Amino acid sequence: MEKLLVKGKKKLSGTIQISGSKNATLPILAASILNEKKIEIKGVPIVKDVITMFHLLKHMGSNIKFNFRKKKIFINNKNKKLRHVAPYAFVKTMRAGIIVLGSLLTKFGKAKVSLPGGCAIGTRPVDIHLYGLKKLGANIKIKNGYILAEAKNGLKGAKIRFPSISVGATENVIIAASLAKGTTYLKNCACEPEIKNLTDFLRKMGVKINWLNQREVKIVGNRKMKPVSHKVMFDRIEAGTFIIAGALASRSLKIAGIDTKTLNTELKILKKMGVKMKISKNEIRVLESKNIKPITIRTQPYPGFPTDLQAQTMVLMTMAKGISKIRENIFENRFMHVPELNRMGGKIKTRGNLSLIFGPQDLNGAEVMATDLRASVSLVLAGLVAKNKTVINRVYHLDRGYEQLEKKLKKCKANISRVYS
């Protein structure tokens, strides 16, 4: 069992280079199935979920190579017919495996993809994905835990309004519409920057795709693809996480390799909380921030405050002088870090999707348990600011989405190490 050991109260200083986005890389890799010409993807983060997607594509027969040193993926599927099955073994560990459904279906006319099932943060159904694909003409059945989808004569463009906003469903249906006959109009789309990164990738491959307004996209299907070279955008959740680490524990911490425009909402909230930052176009310097103020936030789809930064922000709220509130509007069970933070001396009360954080509280190191990706990193942040030693169990959650977290923090003088027991 791997654990992280953090000895708190060390002042951080130096530069943290932000990696490529996991949530942009995954749909881009899924969309690679559409194109038989050469594909180069740059700035790929080496994290567990991306490696799982790489193995899934390999399993399906894709001629895919990962150069870890250069952080590049190369794919060349000239005249290749991929296996159209995504088995449970892959999708159970990484729900985003469901995104190959749209690609396989539109490219090969059929797909068999394991149902992902729920996960720690909620039930996470896939009804919106299936709703969109059916509207494009797919026949879909569920059998033995698998989604069996078919479109013998190919998918057809359609006008679709998503019943509610979903990142994954928007990606799946955009990818499927890319090879469909005719034009697709999608309304009530998620518009996360990672989805824009995906549509940029598709456009470079030859798909005619335009955002008509914030939540509406037009796609003209096109089976004639071009070779493509594409750089994955920066990981805005990783950036937000390290900005909060800086606010909690830095003397002067530079967060580099980002586009600060994309972080508007998060930076506005952090500024209101009294985090001292010098913001320029592609980097932020976080300075010692002694006077943290309470705030109320609610998580929302982009451009609202991201659910993926909720747990990390909660740690900062424990330092604020007064009562902060968080309303979690995206996932129904995303406060699992609360009991762990309370074991470290936090004073946080939760009712339904609302948390009240009573600050300021001095956190104390403890042995804690990571429960999901973002909850795990919130415990690392708490460990950085807590007195004494914090031991974080089940760090495999963290490895799904953070590239070299300990190495990056260590370089900035944190006392953090991985132990094996």
Residue 119 is among the residues annotated as catalytic for this protein: yes
Contact 347, 322 (CB under 8 A): no
User: Does residue 312 interact with ligand UD1 by CB under 6 A?
Assistant: no
Stretch that binds ligand UD1, among 165-173, 265-273, 352-360, 404-412 (CB under 6 A): 165-173
Q: Which is nearer to ligand UD1, 41 or 225 (CB)?
A: 41
* SS3 at position 312: helix
Stretch that binds ligand UD1, among 63-71, 162-170, 345-353, 413-421 (CB under 6 A): 162-170
CA distance 405 to 387: 21
Task: Give the residue among 389, 298, 410 at the shortest CA–CA distance from 352.
Answer: 298
Closest separation in Å from C-beta 176 to ligand UD1? 14
User: Does residue 191 interact with ligand UD1 by CB under 6 A?
Assistant: no
Q: At 55, which helix (H) or strand (E)? A: helix 48-59
Closest separation in Å from C-beta 270 to ligand UD1? 19
Residue 112: count other Cβ atoms within 10 Å of its Cβ: 19
Closest separation in Å from C-beta 391 to ligand UD1? 26
E-strand stretches of 305-388:
322-327, 348-351, 354-359, 367-369
Q: Work out the burial of residue 352: count CB atoms within 10 Å of its CB; fewer than 13 is exposed, 13-18 middle, 19 or more buried.
A: exposed
Stretch that binds ligand UD1, among 59-67, 154-162, 163-171, 181-189 (CB under 6 A): 163-171
Q: Tell me, what DSSP letter sits at residue 294?
A: -
Q: Which is nearer to ligand UD1, 230 or 400 (CB)?
A: 400
User: Does residue 23 interact with ligand UD1 by CB under 6 A?
Assistant: yes
Residue 326 in tokens: 């968080």
Among 119, 189, 191, 412, the active-site one is: 119
Q: Which is nearer to ligand UD1, 94 or 275 (CB)?
A: 94
Beta bridge partners of 66: 73
Closest separation in Å from C-beta 24 to ligand UD1? 8
Looking only at the bridges linking them, the beta strands covering 85-86 and 110-114 are: parallel
User: Does residue 167 interact with ligand UD1 by CB under 6 A?
Assistant: yes
Put the strands of the sheet holding 2-7 in their side by side order: 367-369, 389-393, 2-7, 415-420
Q: Which is nearer to ligand UD1, 167 or 320 (CB)?
A: 167
Q: Which is nearer to ligand UD1, 298 or 389 (CB)?
A: 298
Stretch that binds ligand UD1, among 1-9, 107-115, 161-169, 241-249 (CB under 6 A): 161-169
Block residue for tokens 């799904």: 400
Among 219, 320, 330, 336, binds ligand UD1 (CB under 6 A): 330
Closest separation in Å from C-beta 247 to ligand UD1? 22
Closest separation in Å from C-beta 301 to ligand UD1? 6
User: Does residue 168 interact with ligand UD1 by CB under 6 A?
Assistant: yes
Q: Which is nearer to ligand UD1, 53 or 292 (CB)?
A: 53
Among 4, 12, 18, 26, binds ligand UD1 (CB under 6 A): 26
Q: Alpha carbon of 332 to those of 189, 298, 316, 356, 373: distances in Å?
A: 21, 13, 22, 16, 16
Q: What is the DSSP string of 74-106?
A: EE--TT-----EE-HHHHTT-GGGGGHHHHHHH
Task: Give the residue among 222, 214, 204, 157 at the shortest CA–CA distance from 185.
Answer: 157
Q: Which is nearer to ligand UD1, 129 or 230 (CB)?
A: 129
Q: At 128, which helix (H) or strand (E)? A: helix 127-135
- The contact pattern for ligand UD1, residues 110-149, with x = CB under 6 A and - = no contact, is ------------x-xxxxxx--------------------
User: What is the footprint of ligand UD1 within residues 82-111 (CB under 6 A)?
Assistant: 95-96
User: Does residue 166 interact with ligand UD1 by CB under 6 A?
Assistant: yes
* SS3 at position 32: helix
Q: Which is nearer to ligand UD1, 158 or 167 (CB)?
A: 167
E-strand stretches of 125-207:
139-143, 146-150, 159-161, 183-187
Closest separation in Å from C-beta 253 to ligand UD1? 24
CA 50 to chain CA mean position, Å:
11
Active-site residues, by number, are 119
Which residues of the shown chain bind ligand UD1 in the complex (CB under 6 A)? 23, 26, 95-96, 122, 124-129, 166-169, 190, 307-308, 330-331
